[in-house]
Amino acid sequence: MRNILLVINYIGTNYHGWQIQENANTVQAELQKALKTVLGDFESLIGCSRTDAGAHAHMYCCTVRTENRMNIFKLQRALNSTLPLDIAVKHISVVDKDFHPRYNCTSKTYAYHICNAPVRNPFCEERALHYRPKIDEEKLNKIAQDFVGTHDFSAFCGRKTSVEDKTRTIYDVKIERKGDIVVIFITGDGFLYNMVRIMVGTLLFINEGKIAEDAIPKIFKSKDRKSAGKTVPAYGLYLYNVDYNGCCNGDENGSTQKKETKI
């Protein structure tokens, strides 16, 4: 039995997130169909996290257990020939049998894309939030540092959150602009339901003057969802990076190592 790590990327527009659901198409469901076609029998396709409906991924990690001995690079090519065009396997390797894509993860980075322009850009539709008010990225970047550290994120999660412990650690927040595109990168040890989208919505409310510039620490203390900003749409959200202490990060160029590797 081999434990195979798949690093995939996908456009989430046509999917209700990663996890299989009844009466809804998901990325996991499509990947399972492709694995069934290529491998036949396999066990336990496990993902690194849930993702929101309509959200995207530059790097999503999952594992599949199989007794099939197909060469992993032939497996990669076969899966990419079988999967829909909006899902691709960009890296593949054999990992230790006890490796778990969720529990071995040390941090995740999400990127939220904003098209900051007076006129909407058709090429950004379903890929980035169209936001007209001018963003002062340098000023907002300084304000966003109030998120860094270990905090109770009760005020920054959706009401559907069933997790009791809402303490999370944010390692880094940075905001970058390239032309009209502003990207907010948030790295942390874990995230609650809608947490990144509410953090971004809060920064945009601060940008508009709807929330005070020094309000983030006060919002943490309030633990009140109503004191934070709006929940921005999922289509601007990308799972950007999943870290396992650097030992199985996908190659940004999609290249694959020449041999099977172990973590």
Name the residues annotated as catalytic: 52
Please, where are the H alpha helices in the chain? 27-39, 72-82, 137-144, 195-208, 216-222
Contact 261, 247 (CB under 8 A): no
Give the 3-state secondary structure of residue 137.
Answer: helix
Strand partners, 92: 6
- DSSP 8-state symbol, 254: -
Closest by CA position to 248, among listed 96, 112, 65 = 96
Q: What are the backbone dihedrals phi and psi of residue 85, each rounded to the nearest 5 degrees, phi first?
A: -65, -15
CB contact set of 148 (below 8 Å; sequence gap of 6+): 170, 171, 172, 173
CB contact set of 92 (below 8 Å; sequence gap of 6+): 4, 5, 6, 7, 72, 73, 75, 76, 256
Q: How far apart (Å, rounded) are the C-alpha atoms in residues 101 and 263?
A: 11
